[in-house]
């Protein structure tokens, strides 16, 4: 019997299953003989699958030059089975082979190629440009490197400033510029503080400019920032304390605008309603986030390894987003999976205590210190 209707449970991809379920078709699947899931016409399902494949691949007949003397199409090609089952890795958990064959007939077994055979996908182009940027700031140029990396004759090569602007624009477009609400509690731990010392708010804030001597993830020496954590436990783990430490609790007294890398959603699947540009943007932003938040051993190379994230942070700090400048960057904790950290663009002038009068410039209020 030919397969006319297929059910959502015949597919392993959650987005494709949800799309089929949304039609709420009658039970009774021709492919698996099941009556436990909604069905949809196989041809309609395959039309949707083909439209999704077209987000990331092109049709060779429409895209590639053809030279019979040179062996046919002048570019990489895949048949439908290779794209769908080797590249996309679509799973057919209930199939005995009949659905596979029926889908290839319904899909016409087209020949696919790169979406734009003359250019890299934007995530690949941005990724290669990021790697080139990292090499530049680590080993070639420390200052005045903004136009390095770009080439007028190569649309896949982003200059340093073009790369950083692309990160800013794509972060904003995907909703990663968010408010850290007023009243957010933040902790900062100190493991080098004498236990009987009478503490001041500044003991748990950013160092003074003359004391900002360390190279950290987001700031170079001499430029203070305030690193804080979502909980006292996270703060203690971040300073790698093996014994009790002092920790200070702060609250924000106004909304703070942050690049919220905690809000990175999983990379959308090809059968989701995400656009091609969204899928590729999420792919690159995951790569970028992994690069700037990965742990770095604090040894003699720490200054070099932190340079790319420091330069990127400085650019983002001064970038005029739609709602204004940023106050910091939030990211997940590598040492405490349930916690998170934030690098705030704040020096000691932003600190206040509960006794201080309200002021727009003083937006971090010290609450108390405790031992943890």
Q: Token pair of 52, please? A: 């999704």
* Range 280-300 average pLDDT: 89
Asked if pLDDT for residue 350 goes beyond 90, the answer is yes
**Beta carbons of 271 and 17 less than 8 angstroms apart:** no
Query: Residue 96: pLDDT band by 50, 70, 90 thresholds?
Result: very high
**Which residues does 257 contact at the CB level (< 8 Å), separation at least 6?**
177, 178, 179, 180, 321, 323, 324, 325, 326, 327
Looking at per-residue confidence, does 360 or 262 come out higher? 262
Asked if pLDDT for residue 1 goes beyond 70, the answer is no
Please state the pTM of the whole predicted model. 0.91
* Range 318-333 average pLDDT: 96
The pLDDT, as a whole number, for residue 353 is 86
Considering only the C-alpha atoms of the chain, give the largest distance between any 2 of them, rounded to a whole number of Å: 85
* Range 84-102 average pLDDT: 96
Query: Residue 210: pLDDT band by 50, 70, 90 thresholds?
Result: confident
**Beta carbons of 237 and 335 less than 8 angstroms apart:** yes
The pLDDT, as a whole number, for residue 182 is 96
Q: How many Å apart are CA 312 and CA 219, to the nearest integer? A: 10
Q: How many Å apart are CA 305 and CA 140, to the nearest integer? A: 14
Using CB atoms within 10 Å of the CB of residue 284, give its burial: 0 to 12 exposed, 13 to 18 middle, 19+ buried: buried
Alpha carbons within 13 A on the beta-carbon side of 334? 12
* Range 12-27 average pLDDT: 98
* Range 253-276 average pLDDT: 96
Query: Residue 170: pLDDT band by 50, 70, 90 thresholds?
Result: very high
The pLDDT, as a whole number, for residue 137 is 92
**Beta carbons of 369 and 247 less than 8 angstroms apart:** yes
Phi first, then psi, for residue 276 (nearest 5°) are -55, -45
> What rounded mean pLDDT belongs to the chain?
92
Express as a percent the part of the chain with pLDDT over 90.
Answer: 76
Three-class secondary structure assignment of the chain: CCCCEEEHHHCCCHHHHHHHHCCCCCCCCCCCCCCCCCEEEHHHHHHHHHHHHCCCEEEHHHHCCEEHHHCEECCCEEEHHHHHHHHCCCCCCCCCCHHHHHHHHHCCCCEEEECCCCCCCHHHHHHHHHHHHHHHHHHCCCCCCCCCCCECCECCCCCHHHHHHHHHHHHHHCCCEEEECCCCEEEEEECCCCCCCCCCHHHHCCCCHHHCCCCCCCCCCCCCCEEEECCHHHHHHHCCCCCCCEEEEEEECCCEEEEEHHHCCCCCCCCCCCCHHHHHHHHHHHHHHHHHHCCCCCCCCHHHHHHHHHHHHHHHHHCCECCECCCEEEEECCCCCCCEEEEECCCHHHEEECCCCCECCECEEEEEEEEC
Looking at per-residue confidence, does 295 or 21 come out higher? 21
Give 121-143 pLDDT, tens digit per residue: 999 999 999 999 999 999 998 88
The pLDDT, as a whole number, for residue 153 is 67
Helices 276-293 & 302-318, crossing angle to 10 degrees? Answer: 130
Q: Token pair of 207, please? A: 């160092």
The pLDDT, as a whole number, for residue 109 is 84
Asked if pLDDT for residue 19 goes beyond 70, the answer is yes
Q: Which of 11-15, 167-171, 220-224, 282-286 has the lowest average pLDDT?
A: 220-224
């Amino acid at each position: 019997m030919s397969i006319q209707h297929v059910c959502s449970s015949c597919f392993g991809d959650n987005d494709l299953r949800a799309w089929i379920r949304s039609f709420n078709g009658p039970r009774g699947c021709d492919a698996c003989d099941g009556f436990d899931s909604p069905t949809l016409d196989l041809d309609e399902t395959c039309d949707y699958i083909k439209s999704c494949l077209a987000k990331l691949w092109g049709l060779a007949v429409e895209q590639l030059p053809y030279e019979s003397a040179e062996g046919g199409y002048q570019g990489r090609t895949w048949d439908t089975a290779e794209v769908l089952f080797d590249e996309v890795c679509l799973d057919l958990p209930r199939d005995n082979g009949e659905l596979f064959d029926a889908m290839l007939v319904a899909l016409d077994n087209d020949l696919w190629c790169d979406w734009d055979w003359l250019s890299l996908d934007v995530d690949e182009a941005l990724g290669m440009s990021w790697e080139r940027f990292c090499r530049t700031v680590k080993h070639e140029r420390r200052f005045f490197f903004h136009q390095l990396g770009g080439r007028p004759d190569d649309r896949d090569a982003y200059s340093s400033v073009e790369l950083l602007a692309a990160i800013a624009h794509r972060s904003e477009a995907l909703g990663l510029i968010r408010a850290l609400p007023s009243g957010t509690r933040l902790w900062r731990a100190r493991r080098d503080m004498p236990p009987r010392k009478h503490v001041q708010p500044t003991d748990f804030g950013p160092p003074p400019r003359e004391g900002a001597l360390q190279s950290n993830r987001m700031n170079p020496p001499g430029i203070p920032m305030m690193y804080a954590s979502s909980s006292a436990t996270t703060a203690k783990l971040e300073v790698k304390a093996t014994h009790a430490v002092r920790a200070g609790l702060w609250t924000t007294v106004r909304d703070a605008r942050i690049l919220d890398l905690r809000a990175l959603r999983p990379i959308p699947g090809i059968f989701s309603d995400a656009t091609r540009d969204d899928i590729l943007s999420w792919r690159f932003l995951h790569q970028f986030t992994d690069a700037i938040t990965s742990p770095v051993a604090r040894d003699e190379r720490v200054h070099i390894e932190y340079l790319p994230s420091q330069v990127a942070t400085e650019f983002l700090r001064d970038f005029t987003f739609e709602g204004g400048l940023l106050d910091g960057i939030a990211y997940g904790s590598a040492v405490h999976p349930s916690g998170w950290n934030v690098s705030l663009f704040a020096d000691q002038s932003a600190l206040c205590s509960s006794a201080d009068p309200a002021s727009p410039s003083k937006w971090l209020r010290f609450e108390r210190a405790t031992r943890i």
